Amino acid sequence: MCKDCGCTIAGATHHHHDHDHSHSHDHSHSHESASHQAAHETLHHNPQLNDAKTVSVIQKILDKNDHEAAHNRAHFDNHKVLGINLMSSPGSGKTTLLEHLADIADFKYGVVEGDLETNRDADRLIAKDIKAVQIQTGSACHLDAFMVHKGLHDMPLEDLDVCFVENVGNLVCPASYDVGTHLNIVLVSVPEGEDKIAKYPVMFRAADLILFTKTDLLPYFEYDIQKEKETARKLKPNVDILEVSTKDADSLKAVVDWINFKRRMR
């Protein structure tokens, strides 16, 4: 694992020793999670990580993470809450989207907010009367299931319909860690330029919904959004795709409608 990005083996295992749970966990897994498969894909394509000892250690880390993720999902299920993991590069508009949904959503939601440092994003959401819990990851460039579990203890799930996990801004590592949500939404913004989907396929294969954000800026950028959609559907043919601008209330309503559809399907 990259020693600079915070995904060191020592750093990852640290989280697992900080929690002493008395909960009963479900050990059954009918299939590997999409995030676990994403991690395996990363391993197989990185020769520096592909020796037997390293693979064994990382496998144990991911197994423990998936075990805790199943526990988080049980929390959501027991409270009839839909869990949604929001992922994107920094600045794609995750927090802004959540701020604007507060004005039109007909469901109650809270946010587990992940950033390396500061409480700025959580403070923005709290200012909109959204229940938000900040998780500061320090050097880690993603949230894992243990961090999210800690945040859920401060989240009033009994009062919520939906709980968003706003992951650390990063198009790589978050795709490999199941945090216990039911769905993944991945944002990609017009100012980021064409090629993000092609360059970061693991992330976009994990998406249930891809949101193209800041589409009001399309006239000012050379950005072929139809070509980017085609690239996304080559990676994952059944992925849902929406275009979003915070200046277009109908586009935001479409996100609310998508979430409500998924709520009804559970």
Give per-residue pLDDT as tens, 96-121: 999 999 999 999 999 999 999 999 99
- d(C-alpha 126, C-alpha 123), whole Å: 5
Give per-residue pLDDT as tens, 174-206: 999 999 999 999 999 999 999 999 999 999 999
- Which sequence spans correspond to the domains of the chain? 67-265
List the helix and strand counts (H, then E) for the chain.
10, 7
174 closest CA partner among 241, 87, 108: 87
CB–CB of 110/164 below 8 Å?
yes
pTM of the model: 0.83
| Superfamily grouping for domain 67-265 | P-loop containing nucleotide triphosphate hydrolases (3.40.50.300)
